[in-house]
Amino acid sequence: MAQLPQILAYGIILGVFYGLVTIGLSLLFGVMKYLNIAHGSFMMLGAYASYWLFMLWDIDPILSIPLVMALMFLVGCLLYKLLFSRLSKVSEDVRINSSMIMAFGLILILDNSAIALWTTNIKILNTSYTSTMLEFMGIRIPLTGLIVIGLTSLAILALHLFLGRTYLGKSIRATSQDWEAASLLGTNIDRIYLVSCGISLALAGLAGACFALTYPISPDIGLRWVLFAMVVLVLAGMGKIKEVFLAGLIMAMLEQLSSVVIGAEYRGIVSLAVFILILIFKPQGLFEK
Amino acid sequence: MNKLKQAASSIGLTGTIVIVFALALIVVPLVVDLGNYILTILISLLVFVTLSESWNLMGGYAGQVNLGLAAYFGTGALCYMLVYRAGAPLPVAMVAGGLGATVVACIIGPPTLRLRGAYFGIGTMAVAEVLRLISTTTFTQTIYSPASYWITFTLTKSYYIALAVAIGTIVVAYLVVHSRLGLVLQAIRDDEDAANASGINPARYKMIVFIISSFLAGVAGGVLSYHRGNINVPGQFTMDWTIGAIVAATIGGWGTLTGPVLGSMIFVLLREILGRTVPTGYLIVTGVVFVLVITFLPDGLTSSGAMIRSALGWGGRSSEATLPE
């Protein structure tokens, strides 16, 4: 048990990361009632973009983040224009199912294109600071983990200010509460959806860039991580933004603790089993009163 | 002769086509030697027909998207193999496979089917991942059929088992769809509030059809294990099976009985033609076809023309679900 603080430190980094992967998914669900299960695959795309920008043009992965996010924002707008806008007129239940199925097709295309282009071999982005460890009261913390936490905090702050202070942000919140009322009051719903889709994928791009900083990249990370993102989404309550990070932390801590108590190979099983139990007893999410 | 005509007219054109098709599948392998390659493809096609019909019962008719079909398929394959190895006769082992899958359905069904929205999809996906992880850590080696199997096995026998199960699945789906249960399901899919207000308990009916659907998927797992003679357990639980079933049902058309059959044919054809030369390429092409079909023909290929629709009679039943308000 001596390594417990060490494990909890890793748990915090993992938890923040879970939150970061989930937040774009949650935003899109909150505003549009689309469950984009291809979110993880877009994160994979962002991770590869970050990787290739570093390998080909030697751009530091932290400096390339704005570029990756801008690129993914455009991909998001394109995605909305080409595919998702077709679902925006149907009722809510149908929207969830149709977006899941459409995203399913996107997963097929994106994941297999990644395999075809970059093979299934694991890619590791190696910067000068990748394996730097900081020591703090006997706990070793990877520098990249701290960078991820810092970047995520920045992103959350920016998103919070954007949704709270700007006109566009307020319209997005109004649309997520009641799109019909917002539409009657003169909000251009189509534009709100377009921007939300772009922001959601830009956040997926940020998650991808952070992923490339900390973990090895392979084409199957999308499907693996989106499941955890959806679990966090349900734990936080569907479409909630602020609760996402708390739910992510709980999930990560559970995983880290079970890897100590039961064994590393069972950590995924334990956290998902707990998720299923929560689904049985408290399906509205952990924070619903 | 007159009676025959009367019978034919009461079945209708679609029914006649289906029966002729089924008869051809039954008779042709007896008369002509199709060769091992064609038979193997046909078996694979029939397994996909069974899987996608079972998915379609839940997704197309009840409007519940199951993202973890592989769990029921894999559990079915595993239970079949374990029971068969224990010395049970083949039909018992197949039923055991289906029952095993039903047990899994009973775990995740009740909590998620009470709720609306994405809970069922996420819940089934999580269960599939848990089972995949458990099976990967528990069964690291391929499980082989008992010695008696290898004496009696022929490819033709395997083909007829797959055919019987596929036809059985379509018959079950037909009976479900044309019963009160089927009507109730479609009512729930189209408007759950209205169905609820009419005194229907949506969760109960969704659960009934989920049990039927997972039983069929489990039997499909048994069929494939019988055909292969062994199972590599982690391989039975991969997402690929879910993908195949959803792609087939969606390309063909949700909420139609012919859709999954047509979709399975296209999926297996794409795989056989492209998969030999460009293994990942075929999945990209499948994905593109899939997205194109959803975008331009949300009701699937069975709705691709008024002519085909009226000729088949069954097409486009899900059109109400995808039309704008």
For residue B319, what pLDDT is reported?
A: 44
Say how far apart CA B62 and CA B315 lie, in whole Å.
Answer: 17
Give the pair of three-digit tokens for residue A57. 């043009």
Residue A104, pLDDT above cutoff 90: no
**DSSP result, B131-142:** HHHHHHHH--SP
Domains (range + CATH), chain A:
7-281 (1.10.3470)
Rounded to a whole number, what is the distance in Å from the CA of B123 to chain A's nearest CA? 7
Interface probe for A, chosen from B55, B133, B189 (most Cβ of A below 10 Å), is B133
Q: Which residue of A has its CA nearest to B115?
A: A283
For residue B280, what pLDDT is reported?
A: 76
Cα B152 to chain centroid, rounded? 27
Please write the tens of the pLDDT for every residue from A235-277.
887 777 778 888 888 888 888 888 877 777 777 788 788 888 8
For residue B218, what pLDDT is reported?
A: 92
Q: Which residues of A touch B319 (CB under 8 A)?
A: none
Residue B318 forms part of a structural domain = no
Q: Which residues of A touch B192 (CB under 8 A)?
A: 93
Residue B277 forms part of a structural domain = no
Residue B252 forms part of a structural domain = no
Helix A39-57 and helix A221-236: axis angle, to 10°? 130
Test B121 with A102 for CB contact under 8 angstroms: no
Residue B24 forms part of a structural domain = no
3-state SS record for chain A: CCCHHHHHHHHHHHHHHHHHHHHHHHHHHHHHCCCCCCHHHHHHHHHHHHHHHHHHHCCCCCCCHHHHHHHHHHHHHHHHHHCHHHHCCCCHHHHHHHHHHHHHHHHHHHHHHHHHHHCCCCECCCCCCCCCEEEECCEEEEHHHHHHHHHHHHHHHHHHHHHHHCHHHHHHHHHHHCHHHHHHCCCCHHHHHHHHHHHHHHHHHHHHHHHHHHCCECCCHHHHHHHHHHHHHHHHCCCCCCHHHHHHHHHHHHHHHHHHHCCHHHHHHHHHHHHHHHHHHCCCCCCCC
Q: Which residues of A touch B298 (CB under 8 A)?
A: 98
In this complex, is the C-beta atom of A216 within 8 Å of any C-beta atom belonging to chain B? no
Residue B170 forms part of a structural domain = yes
Test A227 with B129 for CB contact under 8 angstroms: yes
Q: How many domains does chain B have?
A: 1
Q: Which residues of B touch A97 (CB under 8 A)?
A: 59, 63, 65, 121
Residue B288 forms part of a structural domain = no
In this complex, is the C-beta atom of B116 within 8 Å of any C-beta atom belonging to chain A? yes
Interface probe for B, chosen from A232, A279, A281 (most Cβ of B below 10 Å), is A279
Threshold 0.90, pTM exceeds: no
For residue B318, what pLDDT is reported?
A: 45
What torsion, rounded to 10 degrees, do the Cα atoms B9, B11, B13, B18 define?
-150
A131 vs A28, which has greater pLDDT?
A28
In this complex, is the C-beta atom of A74 within 8 Å of any C-beta atom belonging to chain B? no
Please write the tens of the pLDDT for every residue from A124-180.
877 777 777 777 777 777 888 888 888 888 888 888 888 888 888 888 888 888 877
For residue B11, what pLDDT is reported?
A: 61
Say how far apart CA A25 and CA A239 lie, in whole Å.
Answer: 8
For residue B313, what pLDDT is reported?
A: 54
Q: What percent of chain A has pLDDT over 70?
A: 99
For residue B323, what pLDDT is reported?
A: 40
Rounded to a whole number, what is the distance in Å from the CA of B151 to chain A's nearest CA? 39
Test A94 with B116 for CB contact under 8 angstroms: no
Contact A225, A21 (CB under 8 A): yes
Test B287 with A100 for CB contact under 8 angstroms: no
Residue B263 forms part of a structural domain = no
Q: Which residue of A has its CA nearest to B63?
A: A97
Count interface pairs A-B at CB distance under 8 A: 128
Q: Out of B250, B281, B286, whose CB is closest to A101?
A: B250
Say how far apart CA B69 and CA A104 lie, in whole Å.
Answer: 14
Query: Considering only A31-35, A77-81, A230-234, A280-284, which range has the smallest mean pLDDT?
Result: A280-284
Helix A189-214 and helix A4-32: axis angle, to 10°? 160
Q: Which residues of B touch A265 (CB under 8 A)?
A: 137
In this complex, is the C-beta atom of B284 within 8 Å of any C-beta atom belonging to chain A? yes
Q: Give the B window 190-249 contacts with A, CB below 8 Å.
A: 192, 239, 243, 246-247
In this complex, is the C-beta atom of A94 within 8 Å of any C-beta atom belonging to chain B? yes
Q: What tens-digit pLDDT sequence spans chain B (325 residues)? A: 565 555 555 566 777 777 887 788 877 877 777 778 888 888 889 999 999 999 998 888 888 888 889 899 999 998 998 888 888 888 888 898 899 999 988 888 887 887 777 888 888 888 888 888 888 888 877 788 777 777 777 888 888 889 999 989 998 988 888 888 888 888 888 878 888 888 888 888 889 999 999 999 999 999 998 888 888 877 788 888 888 888 888 888 888 888 888 888 888 888 888 877 777 788 888 888 888 888 877 777 776 654 455 555 544 444 444 444 3
Instruction: Determine the average pLDDT of the residues in A34-38.
Output: 88
Residue B136 forms part of a structural domain = yes
Q: Give the B window 34-73 contacts with A, CB below 8 Å.
A: 59, 63, 65, 67
Would you say how long chain A is, in residues?
A: 289
In this complex, is the C-beta atom of B263 within 8 Å of any C-beta atom belonging to chain A? no
Rounded to a whole number, what is the distance in Å from the CA of B239 to chain A's nearest CA? 9
Say how far apart CA A74 and CA B250 lie, in whole Å.
Answer: 28
Q: Out of B119, B278, B321, whose CB is closest to A234?
A: B119
| Domain ranges, residue B80 | 35-238
For residue B102, what pLDDT is reported?
A: 92
